[in-house]
């Protein structure tokens, strides 16, 4: 089975030895890397960053990680120029599987979803909405390598430190809530960039709790990474959060959110054993997001269109 994998428009973000070029890395790249490592040998995966007929004509399947960010969906399925017009109608064309990785992406791409042979989403909630536009919809969660993301040998020492990671320029991340919390902080951002291969040791292993007050998310890979590292997590109910974090530690953005988070953080600060127990429970629940079973799900999605 030959799969042309289109992570995003533009060049490969990986440089020599798997190092990220210019500090850039997308969830699509992580997923591609995992599938290349864990997929069965019968599947040949061909990364593609310029989607045209010559690049995909011999493929069995073309996989688009995120329909909303590819920048080429309209050209392929609704264009009037060759080769895409002929390609669209060919009975022996490759099968197309497109991704919807967040509700904003669904809004931007919903008119084109009916043209795909299958759709993959990051959550069950997204599946329920996407299925209104395409009957063959599957859930493909984001994943984490649990051998790499694991708890530290020794917990971090004082002072009690919280962590947050993301793009501070995105309003939906609500970074102002984190900044208002009166605790030492480590922020992993584009401005304070920590390479992904250093995130366990240079970020997650140096904090005592992970805070994530986003308004909305796709799959929440950072929540899974924090859980894999055995951290207690305080988060809003977005993406996969509620499948990992118990109800007590899922906060609302209505009311005094800073006070609500601070009260929970004080519990962790005062009782390290509680924090450790909650963190280990998070890790156990998060193991369903290990890349190995997720790769098995990916293979089943591929097989659904052949």
Question: Residues with Cβ < 8 Å from 92, sequence gap 6 or more?
Answer: none
What's the pTM value of the predicted model, to 2 decimals? 0.82
Residues 249, 227: contact at Cβ < 8 Å?
no
Check residues 49 and 231 and name the one with the higher pLDDT. 231
Mean pLDDT of 151-179: 94
Where residue 163 falls among pLDDT bands split at 50, 70, 90? very high
CA distance 208 to 202: 13
Check residues 9 and 20 and name the one with the higher pLDDT. 9
Identify the pLDDT of residue 102. Answer: 80
Identify the pLDDT of residue 213. Answer: 96
Residues 223, 250: contact at Cβ < 8 Å?
no
Set out the domains of the chain in order of their start, with CATH numbers.
2-143+290-303 (3.40.50), 162-289 (3.40.50.2000)
Region for 74 from its dihedrals, namely left if φ exceeds 0, alpha if ψ lies in -120 to 50, beta otherwise:
alpha
Q: List pLDDT tens digits, range 207-216.
A: 999 999 999 7
Place of tokens 């590292």: 229
Region for 220 from its dihedrals, namely left if φ exceeds 0, alpha if ψ lies in -120 to 50, beta otherwise:
left
Check residues 21 and 67 and name the one with the higher pLDDT. 67
55-64, 74-83, 123-132, 174-183 — which is least confidently predicted?
Answer: 74-83
CA distance 131 to 92: 25
Mean pLDDT of 111-132: 90
Would you mind telling me the total number of residues written for the chain in this entry? 306
By three-state DSSP, how is residue 303 classified? helix
CA distance 145 to 295: 11
Identify the pLDDT of residue 8. Answer: 67
DSSP β-bridge partners for residue 211 = 234
CA distance 26 to 33: 11
Asked if the model's pLDDT at residue 220 lies above 80, the reply is: yes
Mean pLDDT of 51-71: 81
DSSP β-bridge partners for residue 233 = 210
H/E run at residue 188 = strand 185-188
Token pair of 155 as six digits: 């917990």
């Amino acid at each position: 089975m030959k799969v042309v994998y289109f992570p995003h428009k533009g060049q490969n973000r990986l440089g020599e030895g798997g190092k990220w070029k210019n500090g850039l890395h997308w969830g699509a790249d992580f997923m591609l890397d995992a599938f290349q490592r864990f997929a069965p040998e019968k599947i040949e995966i061909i990364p593609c960053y310029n989607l045209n007929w010559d690049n995909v004509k011999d493929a069995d399947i073309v996989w688009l990680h995120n329909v909303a960010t590819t920048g080429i969906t309209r050209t392929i399925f609704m264009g009037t120029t060759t080769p895409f017009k002929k390609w669209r109608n060919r009975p022996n064309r490759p099968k197309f599987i497109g991704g919807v990785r967040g509700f904003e992406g669904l809004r931007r791409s919903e008119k084109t979803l009916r043209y795909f042979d299958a759709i993959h989403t990051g959550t069950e909630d997204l599946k329920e909405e996407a299925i209104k536009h395409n009957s063959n919809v599957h859930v493909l969660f984001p994943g984490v390598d649990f051998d790499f993301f694991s708890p530290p040998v020794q917990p971090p020492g004082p002072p009690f430190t919280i962590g947050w990671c993301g793009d501070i320029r995105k309003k939906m991340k609500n970074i102002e809530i984190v900044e208002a919390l009166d605790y030492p902080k480590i922020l992993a951002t584009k401005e304070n960039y920590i390479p992904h291969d250093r995130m366990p040791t240079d970020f997650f292993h140096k904090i005592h709790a992970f805070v994530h007050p986003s308004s909305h998310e796709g799959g929440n890979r950072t929540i899974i990474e924090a859980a894999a590292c055995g951290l207690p997590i305080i988060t809003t109910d977005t993406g996969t959060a509620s499948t990992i974090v118990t109800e007590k530690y899922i906060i609302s953005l209505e009311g005094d959110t800073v006070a609500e988070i601070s009260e929970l953080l004080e519990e962790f600060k005062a009782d390290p054993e509680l924090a450790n127990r909650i963190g280990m429970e998070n890790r156990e629940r998060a193991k369903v997001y290990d890349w190995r079973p997720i790769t098995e799900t990916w293979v089943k999605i591929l097989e659904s269109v052949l």
